[in-house]
């Protein structure tokens, strides 16, 4: 995921090529295109971000209820395809595309012959271009302030920076006349054999953020070690999670744990997304920075503590029955909305999260769910 979302060249292309291409639709004569009376194929477009994709949980059920005779077509990038497969209701078809191959992506979406396409992206112009060129009979997406991506839709929904992103998604469905009733939750995959689970009780630490300037959303290694020592003293085993790209920093952090007398279990890069979901669901608590794994843990029903420095818990906090958010005490934090608004803001927001505050959130979760 980080490889695509953090790629500067792709971001520059998205802005300097995407904006004029999408704006070209503004110069075309506008036709009144109401939603088709007969809908046989509905496309859900989300090309990146594991967490954002998992926030679609429940919406496929709602769409099936509203359009029982329609085929649902999920359109993802390669980086978030595994997340789409964790959604509780599967799409009838799944198309994987890449922003590195825009011509091929456009052909793939056109070949789907969609009646309706719903673009769940809030800022990528690439997604908006796919929707605009999709040949779908009805195109729906966000009008996001300052992103110049809304010209190719038949109906736009204002994207709000004051509500959780799932609520923004809910408004897209409402524009189709679909009431979102299904709870936001994903099912435990149960793909691991019993001998592959960590010893109980165990706490999962996910220290790594994704996307642009991910390091600004990450907590100091010394605080992870201190937290691990406190939980180990309470009888918890500590498990470090991460993707293949985090093997090196995870190994370094695991060594720091061992130097402090905490024998952390490092599974970074060793588990697929479904396997990691199984480990998260079986944990006693998950502590994560604001990233897709945090969302996955909360939606799985695991006790989840999300750490928020520059990110807003209101916009991007974990969802679920057993979640807590720990917010930075630093002035000027949080400030991120779409994930890239760092200019002019402080980069030390995570320093405003203390180990004591995280332990208090864990204690509150454990006591409230006993």
Whether residue 35 is predicted with pLDDT greater than 50 in this model: the reply is: yes
Boundaries of CATH 3.40.50.2000 in the chain?
2-175, 194-368
* Window from 1-10, 135-144, 265-274, 320-329 with minimum mean pLDDT: 1-10
What confidence score (pLDDT) does residue 2 get?
A: 44
- CA–CA dist 80, 357 (Å, integer): 32
The CB-based long-range contact list for 92-97 (8 Å cut-off, 24+ gap) reads 97/47, 97/130
* Mean pLDDT over each residue of the chain, to the nearest integer: 93
- Three-state DSSP at 159 gives coil
Indicate the pairing of strand 71-77 with strand 93-97: parallel
Instruction: Report the pLDDT averaged over residues 258-283.
Output: 97
Backbone angles phi, psi at 209, to 5 degrees: -95, 165
What does the pLDDT look like over 58-84, one tens digit per residue?
999 999 999 999 999 999 999 999 999
DSSP 8-state assignment for residue 270: T
What does the pLDDT look like over 185-230, one tens digit per residue?
999 999 999 999 999 999 999 999 988 899 999 999 999 999 999 9
CATH superfamily of 194-368: Glycogen Phosphorylase B; (3.40.50.2000)
At residue 32 the predicted structure's pLDDT band, cuts being 50, 70 and 90, is low
- CA–CA dist 298, 313 (Å, integer): 13
What confidence score (pLDDT) does residue 111 get?
A: 98
How many helices (H) and strands (E) would you count in the chain? 15, 12
Structure-model confidence comparison of residues 22 and 261, the more confident one:
261
Structure-model confidence comparison of residues 109 and 369, the more confident one:
109
What confidence score (pLDDT) does residue 8 get?
A: 52
What confidence score (pLDDT) does residue 224 get?
A: 98
Whether residue 307 is predicted with pLDDT greater than 70 in this model: the reply is: yes
At residue 90 the predicted structure's pLDDT band, cuts being 50, 70 and 90, is confident
* Window from 5-14, 169-178, 220-229, 296-305 with minimum mean pLDDT: 5-14
What does the pLDDT look like over 335-355, one tens digit per residue?
999 999 999 999 999 999 999
E strand spans, the chain: 41-46, 71-77, 93-97, 116-119, 138-143, 155-158, 202-206, 237-240, 265-266, 285-289, 304-308, 323-327
At residue 1 the predicted structure's pLDDT band, cuts being 50, 70 and 90, is very low
As a CATH number, domain 2-175 is 3.40.50.2000
What confidence score (pLDDT) does residue 13 get?
A: 59
- Give 356's contacts (C-beta < 8 A, 6+ positions apart): none
What confidence score (pLDDT) does residue 14 get?
A: 60
At residue 369 the predicted structure's pLDDT band, cuts being 50, 70 and 90, is confident
Give the torsion sign (CA, 158, 164, 169, 171): negative
Instruction: Report the pLDDT averaged over residues 144-161.
Output: 93
What confidence score (pLDDT) does residue 12 get?
A: 56
* Window from 7-16, 66-75, 171-180, 217-226 with minimum mean pLDDT: 7-16
Peptide bond into 269 cis (omega under 30): no
Contact between residue 74 and residue 95 where contact means Cβ atoms under 8 Å apart: yes
What confidence score (pLDDT) does residue 109 get?
A: 98
Whether residue 231 is predicted with pLDDT greater than 80 in this model: the reply is: yes
What confidence score (pLDDT) does residue 19 get?
A: 65
**Category of 203 on φ-ψ map: left (φ > 0), alpha (ψ -120 to 50) or beta:** beta
What does the pLDDT look like over 95-126, one tens digit per residue?
999 988 999 999 999 999 999 999 999 998 99
Give the torsion sign (CA, 297, 301, 307, 308): positive
- CA–CA dist 284, 75 (Å, integer): 34
Whether residue 279 is predicted with pLDDT greater than 60 in this model: the reply is: yes
E strand spans, 133-245: 138-143, 155-158, 202-206, 237-240
């Amino acid at each position: 995921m980080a490889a695509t979302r953090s790629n500067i060249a792709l971001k520059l292309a998205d802005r300097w090529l995407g904006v004029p291409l999408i704006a070209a639709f503004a110069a075309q004569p506008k036709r009144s295109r109401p939603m088709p009376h007969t809908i046989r194929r509905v496309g859900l477009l989300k090309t990146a971000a594991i967490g954002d994709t998992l926030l679609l949980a429940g919406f496929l059920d709602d769409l099936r209820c509203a359009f029982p005779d329609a085929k649902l077509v999920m359109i993802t990038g390669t980086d978030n395809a595994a997340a789409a497969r964790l959604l509780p209701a599967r799409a009838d078809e799944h198309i994987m595309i890449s922003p590195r191959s825009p011509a091929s992506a456009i052909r793939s979406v056109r070949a789907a012959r969609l009646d309706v396409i719903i673009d769940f992206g809030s800022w990528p112009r690439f997604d908006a271009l796919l929707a605009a060129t999709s040949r779908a009979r009805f195109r729906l997406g966000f009008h996001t302030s300052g992103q110049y991506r809304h010209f190719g839709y038949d109906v736009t929904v204002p994207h709000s920076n004051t509500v959780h992103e799932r609520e923004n998604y809910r408004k897209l469905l409402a524009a189709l006349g679909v009431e979102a009733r299904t709870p936001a939750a994903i099912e435990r995959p149960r793909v691991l054999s019993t001998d592959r689970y960590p010893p109980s009780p165990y706490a999962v630490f996910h220290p790594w953020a994704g996307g642009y300037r991910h390091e600004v959303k990450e907590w100091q290694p010394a605080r992870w070690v201190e937290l691990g020592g406190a939980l180990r003293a309470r009888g918890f085993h500590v498990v470090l999670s991460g993707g293949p790209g985090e093997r090196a920093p995870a190994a370094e952090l695991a060594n720091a744990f061992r130097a402090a007398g905490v024998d952390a279990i490092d599974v970074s890069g060793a588990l697929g997304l479904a396997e990691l979901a199984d480990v998260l669901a079986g944990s006693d608590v998950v502590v994560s920075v604001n990233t897709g794994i945090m969302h996955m843990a909360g939606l799985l029903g695991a006790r989840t503590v999300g750490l928020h420095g520059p990110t807003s818990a209101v916009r991007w906090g974990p969802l679920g029955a057993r979640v807590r958010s720990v917010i930075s005490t630093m002035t000027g934090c949080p400030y991120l909305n779409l994930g890239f608004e760092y200019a002019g803001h402080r980069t030390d927001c995570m320093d405003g999260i203390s180990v004591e505050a995280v332990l208090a959130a864990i204690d509150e979760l454990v006591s409230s769910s006993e």
